[in-house]
Structure 1
Amino acid sequence: MVRFAILGSFEIFNESGVCELTAPKLRQVLALLLVRRNQLVTLETVVEELWGADPPKSAQTTAQTYIYQLRKTIESEGLAPDSRELLVTRPSGYMLRVEPTELDLFVFDEEVKSGRRLLEVGRLQEAARQLRDALALWTGPPLAGVNRGPLLEAYAAHLQEQRLYTLELRIKADMLLGRDRELIGELRSLVAAHPFNEWFHGQLIMALSRAGRRNEALDVFHSLRHVLDNELGLLPSPEIQEIHQNVLLVGKGPAGG
């Protein structure tokens, strides 16, 4: 079975195992066709990805050569099972025809949709498990090992945002399940990696407060306020300030409350 992986190291698998596609430009063209899977990609789009806004005079001819070489590789490596035409040429461009089970991104998208629906209807255990499975498909930064022009660079940033969104959904499910203490270490790591992400800070503040670690929760708030003020000249959002007030109110409650 043919499989393509872009959620981490860019890899191609055929019936024999890993397909070694080492030529950088061929990897870049294939990656572009994969992220635009089942859509027409014009020759001009390929040129833009490979050379940006300043292509050489021979760019279109060279890009067509890369497409030809990619087609030959698809044939020689058996990447088109059952004689299916994987790379289709149209008068105005090219299309890579990929089935849902052949691309990890397809699987990720479906699992995230399912997890979000489960979360919306309150099936928290199933939602957390489904979202955890989706995140497990990631092996590192997207499209690792591929030279990225302007189009792939933008798409990689989009994929990173999708991963963060999914991570937020999974953490939300775990918080609703009362797994506050279990999340503290992970949230501390996320706050360190994303110092301007107020949502992660807010979850950490709440998790610490619910675990009875009120002083640490307040320290996280003050650290965030300091970073936002020094680096961006901003105050914490109203949502974070409300979380902060709630922590203060808990501290004024009955002992042990």
Structure 2
Amino acid sequence: MFEFGILGPVEVRADGVPVPISAAKLRTLLAALLLRPNRTVPTTTLIEQVWGDQLPQRGVAALQNYVMRLRQALGESLIRTTPGGYSIALSATQLDLTRFTQLTTEAAAAGPGTRSRLLTAALDLWRGPALVGVPSPVLQRAEVPRLEELRLTAVEMRIDADLELGRHADLVPELWSLTAQHPLRERFWHQLMLALRRSGRRAEALAAYRSAAEVLSEELGLDPGPELREQFAAILQAS
């Protein structure tokens, strides 16, 4: 059985054995199909995503050639010709993005312990930034930020679950790192302040608020949002 990964470098495995997809445009075509599994991706969309601004003179014929080469690597049954385009037929377990989506959906309806476990499993599917090795400006511009937002939202959800479970002190180092990596993401600052406050580290929580306020002002010209202000008030009231 084939398994596919796009949450990191694009990879293909057949019964656990790596299947090399060495040509950059083949990887791009595969990624474009994997981003919409079991759905038709229009021919015009695939041509744009594979070739970008450097469209071949005979785009449809060039795409057909690459589809043929991809079928040679993966077999005839996975990639299907559909009215107006192509699709890749996959089960729910064959693609890391599908498994990630299923786990995060299940987690949203679960209690904190199960939610933390499911989200940890979902995040473990990531092997690095999405779509590594896919030199498509179109996909890098449109899809990579979308996928990264899904990952960061899952991180936030997992931290919320761990906060509900009382793991405040354990979360502080991770949250300091996350606020350094994503200083404009207010949710991480809020979670850091909450973890510090509940760990009895009031001075550090106030320092975190000042850092958040400074970076938001300098980078965006904005004051902290309602969540941060409420957390700041809670810290002051706890003094």
Fold similarity call, TM over 0.5: yes
State how far apart, in whole Å, the 2-side matches of 1:104 and 1:60 are. 29
Any stretches of 5+ residues in structure 1 without a counterpart?
A: 252-257
2:233 paired residue number? 245
Give 1:16 shift: 6.0
Instruction: Measure how far apart 1:192 and its partner are.
Output: 0.2
Partner of 1:69: 69
Task: Give the structure 2 partner of residue 141 of structure 1.
Answer: 129
Q: Which residue is equivalent to 2:19? A: 19
What is the CA–CA distance in structure 2 between the aligned matches of 1:92 and 1:250, rounded to whole Å?
62
Aligned partners of 2:161, 2:216: CA distance in 1, in Å?
A: 27
Aligned residues: 239
Aligned partner of 1:183 in structure 2 is: 171
Equivalent position SS for 1:7? coil
> Does 2:151 correspond to 1:163?
yes
On the 8 A contact 1:51/1:149 being kept in 2, the answer is no
Provide the rounded CA distance (Å) in 2 between the counterparts of 1:99 and 1:164. 25
Alpha-carbon distance in structure 2 between the residues aligned to 1:185 and 1:89: 50
Matched, 1:115 2:103: no
| Range with greater deviation from structure 2 (54-63 or 19-28) | 54-63
Equivalences for 1:26-65 in 2 at 5 Å? 26-53=26-53, 55-65=55-65
Alignment of 1:194 onto 2:194:
no
Pick aligned residue for 2:91 from 96, 99, 112 = 99
Letter in 2 for 1:71: R
Task: Check whether the contact 2:52–2:136 (CA below 8 A) recurs between aligned residues.
Answer: no
Q: Deviations over 1:166-216 (max 9, x none)?
A: 111110000011110000000000000001111100111111111111111
Q: Which secondary structure does the structure 1 equivalent of 2:41 belong to?
A: coil
Structure 2 residue identity aligned to 1:136: D
Give the CA deviation at 1:28: 0.5
Question: 2 CA distance for matches of 1:56 and 1:146?
Answer: 18
| CA drift at 1:152 | 5.0
> What TM-score, normalized to structure 1?
0.89
Aligned with 1:101: secondary structure?
A: coil
Q: Deviations over 1:44-78 (max 9, x none)?
A: 11111023355242333222211111112223xxx
| Contact map agreement 1:49 1:152 (CA 8 A) in 2 | no
Per the normalisation by structure 2, the TM-score is 0.95
Equivalent residue for 2:120? 132
How many Å separate the matches in 1 of 2:35 and 2:161?
A: 29
Q: Is the 8 A contact 1:111 1:131 kept in 2?
A: yes
3-state SS of 2:109 partner: helix
Confirm whether residue 89 of structure 1 aligns to residue 88 of structure 2: no
1:235 is aligned, of 196, 217, 223, to: 223
Aligned twin of 2:2: 2
Which stretch shows the higher mean deviation, 47-56 or 139-148? 47-56
Shift in CA distance, 61/223, structure 1 to aligned 2, threshold 3 Å: same
- Tell me how far apart the structure 1 counterparts of residues 174 and 16 of structure 2 sit (CA, whole Å): 38
- Mark the runs of 5 or more structure 2 residues left unpaired by the alignment: none
Deviation per CA, 1:120-171, whole angstroms, max 9, x where unpaired?
xxx2211111111111111111111222231453122111111111111110
* Secondary structure, counterpart of 1:99 in structure 2: coil
Cα deviation for residue 11 of structure 1 reads: 0.6
